[in-house]
Amino acid sequence: MRAHSSATTRTPIAVRGTALACLGVAAFSLTFPSTHWALSGFGAWSAVTVRAVLATAVAGVFLVAGRARVPDRAHWAGLAVVACGVVVGFPLLTTLALRTTDTSHAAVVVGALPLCTAVLAALRTGARPSRTFWAAAVAGAAVVTAFTLGESGGAPTAGDGYLFGALLVCAAGYVEGGRLAAVLPGWQVVGWALVGTLPLTLPAMVVSLSLEPVRLTGESVGGLVWVSVVSQFLGLLVWYRGMAAIGVTRASQLQLAQPVLTLVWSAALLGERLGAATLPAALGVLVCVAVTQRSGAGRPAAPESAPEHEAHGGRAVAASMAEGMASRTTSGT
């Protein structure tokens, strides 16, 4: 009787968690098209800094409403890495790339973010992944490299350089965020990282808006609001809640659809014509990511405890450090 009751209780939680995770994936898949719209009326630096400041305002409301405690001093170095990678680095580099690169091209390249994150996580934790893991990671990197070289005529473009840089800094931010998520709810990790950058992003926004031309249209404002409020914070909030309910590994499988969704939005909303190699390359990357997720990143040399904690009104169990780092693939930021 107890077993039946327990199973009955877990079922709606799993359904709700899956729905929340899917909402997060859908939100992230629109990040690149929305950035493209934002760039139609804002300069690259203005778009990035306004995005960060607006997201910080939303995060601040949630932190105050949730009575979140200021993190211990020992956590701020890690939060700085998260901020540099997720709050500043990834948005800036991808925005600069999208000035000259199609969103469909960017979606394929950034689709390798889970691979990059898993590799950095393995190096960070001292884990020993299986040979299958490393083979899939190398194959995924080869697919992305071949795609970028084929699309650019044999030499990577400046946009490709920005995208590869975005992969590295964002993966570093995710890895450090995975470590911090063992002691802080994930939404607070993002929230405090945003708040910590405000002394930099606020004056940078003022300077950028004074130097770059601004053309306010429904498209540019709508795109900027989406990446600021949804991609940068609310999408992460529902994504972390979903992961807390169904587990990091199951949630990460749902995010395999994100690059393909972005390709659909690129064609449907922006009218981009997909090159002959775009969809095969995207599917190739997805297969490699799926293999790394299923093969696992191995156990860390010195595993850390992952205590339970309260996460915005719901009970969230932090995944183990190795699993959290290897599987936390929130590329939509």
d(C-alpha 187, C-alpha 310), whole Å: 11
- Please list the residues that pair with 317 across neighbouring strands: 308
Q: What is the pLDDT of residues 107-156, one digit of tens each?
A: 888 877 877 877 887 787 777 778 887 888 788 878 888 887 787 666 67
Q: Which of 208-212, 241-245, 286-290 is predicted most confidently?
A: 208-212
pLDDT for the residue numbered 235: 86
Contact predicate 186/20, CB 8 Å? no
d(C-alpha 208, C-alpha 205), whole Å: 5
> The pTM is what?
0.77
pLDDT for the residue numbered 297: 53
Query: Regarding predicted confidence, which is higher, 322 or 272?
Result: 272
Q: What is the pLDDT of residues 12-22, one digit of tens each?
A: 877 888 888 88
Least confident of 113-117, 172-176, 202-206, 214-218: 113-117
d(C-alpha 88, C-alpha 74), whole Å: 21
Query: Does pLDDT of 181 surpass 80?
Result: no
- Please list the residues that pair with 308 across neighbouring strands: 317
pLDDT for the residue numbered 308: 34
Query: Does pLDDT of 81 surpass 70?
Result: yes
d(C-alpha 39, C-alpha 159), whole Å: 15
